[in-house]
A and B are shown apart, each in its own frame.
Chain A
Amino acid sequence: MYPPPLPATPPPPPAKKEAPKDIVVDHKAPYISGAKQSGYVAASILGMGAIAPDAAFSSMLTTFCLSNIIGVQVVMGVSHALHSPLMAVTNAISGTTALGGMHLFAHSTGPFVTALAAVATTLSTVNIVGE
């Protein structure tokens, strides 16, 4: 007989079956952590209101919190290709520091302060026009 028969190989051992592990889903955990975070945020904002010295501080706190929310919402979900133009536009908008420089220039009381204000205004305008 040609070819010779192959020697009998033992059958392959059966694959070891592990008992499927039970995935424990803690349904309560996200609610507890969410409730804790909301509590911290509420307490901190009310705390800022408690230590506020005057109305200007409260209105600035309102502006700050609302602009935080707006910023997060507006920038979330920007596609990757638009990251660089978005950086350029936010850079141009951050040229608003020119307003602080102009204010300082108009109200300055000394040459050094005028120089600082000039630096601030010029560099911020470079940003506004360059982007």
Chain B
Amino acid sequence: MTTKMLDMFKRPDDPPEYYHLYGIPAGTAFALYSVGSMSGKFPELDTAASTLAGLLCIGGIAGLASQNTARLGAVSGQAGVALGVASTLGHLSPSIGTTAGIGALMGVGALAGHRIGHAVEPTSLPQTVAAFHSLVGLAASAAAVGDYLNTPDTTQLDGVHLASIYLATVIGSLTFTGSLVAFGKLDGRLPSAPLNLSSRDQINMGLGAATLGAGTFPEINWICKHNSLEF
């Protein structure tokens, strides 16, 4: 969809572009990483690949700061995300069944994303971005909740892990609902005036306190377990 938006800026006298030539170094990097990872002789290759993926993503965002590097930025971002996915798969080294499962899930997601991205009109791109962003918020909080449920003994989690689970759940859920509201307002389904309930301050403060309070439950559990207190 990014390329769709950037194509709106194309002028008829623009010089021809050969961005597919960037596929050669990208493919080479993939091939080198796959061979090196599967040979098993390079234990730190996964970290290097993820660093490269991070650099490509940052370069992608930086490229979109100006018009003449915008398309290069889009290509770089795509390469970065793809390499990130590949490096995680290499690091996990999942079994055949798990790999097939992951492949099927990503295939379904890719198909849905491709269909929606193609069907969207250029004038409704901002609200589509907002709708997509709500999905990623839901995904983040689902992953965090799943991580918490997956640990057999949650009192063994250290503070950093607990804090990251809490933050991911809160920020992910906030993103999910907030982006859905943004989508509604951008699309015209919701009125664009802010919802001015008379007790909105108290409602917001109450919800904020409840969010902070809910985060203390695992901490209290942890503190009690580690100090041998029983609830």
**Interface residue B2 (Cβ < 8 Å from any Cβ of A):** yes
Contacts A109-B152, A121-B106 given; does A81 touch B9 at CB 8 Å: yes
Complex interface: stretch among A3-11, A25-33, A38-46, A110-118:
A110-118
Closest to A60 in B: B160
Q: How far is the CA of A125 from the CA of B88 in the complex (A)?
A: 14
| Chain B interface, DSSP helix/strand/loop, else mixed | helix
B65 to chain A, nearest CB (A): 5
Q: CB-CB < 8 A to A122: which residues of B?
A: 105-106, 108-109, 112
Q: Are B74 and A130 in contact (CB under 8 A)?
A: no
Q: Are B113 and A127 in contact (CB under 8 A)?
A: yes
Closest to A109 in B: B150
Closest to B179 in A: A91
Q: CB-CB < 8 A to A110: which residues of B?
A: 149-150
Name B2's contact: one of A88, A116, A117 (CB within 8 Å).
A88
**Interface residue B208 (Cβ < 8 Å from any Cβ of A):** no
**Interface residue B224 (Cβ < 8 Å from any Cβ of A):** no
Contact bitstring A96-131, B, C-beta under 8 A = 1, else 0: 111111111111111011001111111111111111
Q: CB-CB < 8 A to B149: which residues of A?
A: 110, 112-113, 116
B149 to chain A, nearest CB (A): 5
Name A105's contact: one of B2, B98, B133, B138 (CB within 8 Å).
B98
A125 to chain B, nearest CB (A): 3
Q: Are B143 and A130 in contact (CB under 8 A)?
A: no
Q: Are A96 and B84 in contact (CB under 8 A)?
A: yes
Q: Are B133 and A89 in contact (CB under 8 A)?
A: no
Q: How far is the CA of A102 from the CA of B101 in the complex (A)?
A: 10
| Chain A interface, DSSP helix/strand/loop, else mixed | helix
Q: How far is the CA of A82 from the CA of B64 in the complex (A)?
A: 7
Contact bitstring B78-119, A, C-beta under 8 A = 1, else 0: 101100110011001010001001100110111011101100
Q: CB-CB < 8 A to B143: which residues of A?
A: 97, 100-101, 104, 116-117, 120
Q: Are B2 and A92 in contact (CB under 8 A)?
A: yes
**Interface residue A90 (Cβ < 8 Å from any Cβ of B):** yes
**Interface residue B203 (Cβ < 8 Å from any Cβ of A):** no
Q: Are A127 and B88 in contact (CB under 8 A)?
A: no
Q: Are B2 and A85 in contact (CB under 8 A)?
A: yes
Q: Are B147 and A89 in contact (CB under 8 A)?
A: no
Closest to B73 in A: A89
Contact bitstring A8-23, B, C-beta under 8 A = 1, else 0: 0000000000000000
Q: How far is the CA of A78 from the CA of B147 in the complex (A)?
A: 36
Contact bitstring B52-67, A, C-beta under 8 A = 1, else 0: 0000011011101111
Q: How far is the CA of A112 from the CA of B149 in the complex (A)?
A: 9
Give the A-binding residues of B (Cβ under 8 A): 1-2, 5-6, 9, 57-58, 60-62, 64-67, 70, 73-74, 77-78, 80-81, 84-85, 88-89, 92, 94, 98, 101-102, 105-106, 108-110, 112-114, 116-117, 125-126, 128-129, 132-133, 135-136, 138-140, 142-147, 149-150, 152, 158-160
User: Which 3 pairs across A and B sit closest by C-beta, in order of nearness?
Assistant: A125-B109, A130-B113, A116-B146
